[in-house]
Amino acid sequence: MKPAQKLAGLVVLILVLVVSAVGVTWQVQDWRYDGKLAKQAGQFQADLNAIGNAANAQARAEQDKRLATEQQLAASDQQHTKELFDAQRNQALLRDRLATADVRLSVLLDAADSVSGCDVPAAPGAVGVVHAARRAQLDTAHAQRIIAITDAGDQGLIALRACQAYLKEVSTPK
């Protein structure tokens, strides 16, 4: 065999060894990186699961808070509706009593006012003269208008209390 052939055979052998070493190294690196990537993918999935569980827990907590607030507001609304109904019923009873003359509204007169010219005497008692303040009875129509005005005022106050309670409930951090 000629030395050139020996040299060519040696070069081919070295090339085969180098290529096989590169191939083996490539395969080992591939296995290593596959292991690292699998580990990272597992960690990433675990992180995603933890984030998802935390988000679900927070959503449930927020929903529970919302439901509790809705229940409190519903109870408050029922209370204010009952107050409004009671006030309207009381006003209606008073209007009915005024209409049937069961009750008469009166106003206190100024005893020192000589200009008004209203000499309504104080009601005498059974034993003697009662030294009470002088009063004048109102006409039924005027009394009913006054009751209507106070009814609207009562309804406004009840609505204001309901709004204030709602705003306090909604704005109070829990």
Mean pLDDT over residues 28-55, rounded?
A: 91
pLDDT in tens, 46-85: 999 999 999 999 999 999 999 998 898 899 889 988 988 8
pLDDT in tens, 7-23: 888 899 999 999 999 99
Rounded CA-CA distance 133/171 in Å is 50
CA atoms in the 13 A half-sphere facing the CB of 160: 6
Rounded CA-CA distance 83/88 in Å is 9
Rounded CA-CA distance 163/77 in Å is 10
